[in-house]
Amino acid sequence: MSAFIADASLAIAWVHPAQATVETDAMLDALEAGAALEVPALWPLEVANALVVLVRCGKLAEEDRLTALGWLRGLSVRIDYEMASLAFSSLSELAHRIACPSTTPHISSSRSDGLSRWRAKMVL
């Protein structure tokens, strides 16, 4: 069975015709054929928010938003909670090592004072 990872923009393309492309239609076909859909833990919140924004902007009717939510709720989705739980630990460290190979702090004195105050609040 094939699988793919989706972000909120893909879900919006599936339920809002103006956002659809040949590629998003192909992914929907794959999903309907049994492909597994994996999404980050934030995905349901992002999709729900995007639909609300589309209604507020007058680009989607409220009835269509509710229909879309019902359809999306019925999808077989694997939500990746593990990555979310690693965001403040090993993923952050990995990103830091790749982006900042030097261990020398790059904090200006003005930012350093703010960081010290923040650390003090965290200890309290």
Exposed, middle or buried: residue 16 (CB in 10 Å: 0-12, 13-18, 19+)? middle
Could you give the percent of the chain with pLDDT greater than 70? 80
- Global pTM exceeds 0.75: no
* φ, ψ (nearest 5 deg) of residue 3: -145, 155
- The domain limits of the chain are 3-123
DSSP 8-state secondary structure symbol assigned to residue 33: T
Give pLDDT tens digits for 30-70: 999 999 999 999 999 999 999 999 999 999 999 999 999 99
The CATH code belonging to domain 3-123 is 3.40.50
Q: What distance in Å separates the CA atoms of residue 75 and residue 32, rounded to the nearest whole number?
A: 9
How does residue 90 score in pLDDT terms, banded at 50, 70 and 90? Answer: confident
* 106 against 66, higher pLDDT: 66
CA atoms 25, 29, 32, 35: torsion sign: negative
